[in-house]
């Protein structure tokens, strides 16, 4: 019996050695051949199938993780963009508020200026044209015209007639615009 076992072991060694020799020289693909034969065995078939399923699941998981990372990066980029835009909006809102305050201030100044011009017009209205004309001629052209506009047309005409003709023509041009 020992001889039989020894003969079987020697036969197996010879077959394996020949197989490895054929594998080494590229004559026979022993690995694929054995793997395909073993895959058909019921228990091994289930193990190989589960390994292939696991590999497929790992690939799917890897793809999903990659997609999740990509989405996270996109979210972070969008969040940063949103925060920049929000900051820009705050700056612009503050600028608008500052401009509104400036506009209110300018409107107030303009109203005060108009009231002063109105008062001055009242003063010049009360003056004689021959006395008002030389004073108006010395004023800034813009202010002089503003006063003349607020005067009664007869009074403004009298003052313009008392002015130097060049100055009178200049004011008339400005008034006609």
- CA–CA distance, 23 with 31 (Å, rounded to integer): 8
> Distance between alpha carbon 159 and the CA centroid of its chain, in Å?
61
Q: What is the pLDDT of residues 20-68, one digit of tens each?
A: 777 777 777 766 766 666 666 665 556 555 667 777 778 888 998 999 9
Q: Is 145 in contact with 115 (CB distance < 8 Å)?
A: no
Q: How distant, in Å, are the alpha carbons of 1, 11, 12, 15, 127 from that of 7?
A: 10, 6, 9, 12, 147
Residue 10 CB-half CA count within 13 A: 6
Residue 8 CB-half CA count within 13 A: 5
Above pLDDT 90, what percent of the chain?
A: 33
Residue 4 φ then ψ, to 5°: -65, -45
> What mean pLDDT value characterizes the chain?
85
Question: Which residues neighbour 162 within 8 Å (Cβ) at sequence distance 6 or greater?
Answer: 129, 130, 132, 133, 134
């Amino acid at each position: 019996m020992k001889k039989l076992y020894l003969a079987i072991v020697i036969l197996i060694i010879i077959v394996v050695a020949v197989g490895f020799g054929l594998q080494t020289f590229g004559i026979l693909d022993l690995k694929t051949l054995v793997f395909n034969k073993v895959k058909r065995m019921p228990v091994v078939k289930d193990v190989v199938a589960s390994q292939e399923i696991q590999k497929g699941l790992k690939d799917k998981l890897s793809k999903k993780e990659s997609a999740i990372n990509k989405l996270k990066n996109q979210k972070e980029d969008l969040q940063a963009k949103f925060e920049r835009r929000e900051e820009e909006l705050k700056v612009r809102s503050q600028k608008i508020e500052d401009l509104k305050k400036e506009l209110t201030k300018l409107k107030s100044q303009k109203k005060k200026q108009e009231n002063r011009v109105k008062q001055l017009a009242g003063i010049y209205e009360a003056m004689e044209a021959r006395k008002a004309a030389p004073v108006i001629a010395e004023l800034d052209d813009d202010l002089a015209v503003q006063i003349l506009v607020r005067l009664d047309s007869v009074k403004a005409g009298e003052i313009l007639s008392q002015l130097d003709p060049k100055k009178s023509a200049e004011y008339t041009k400005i008034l006609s615009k």
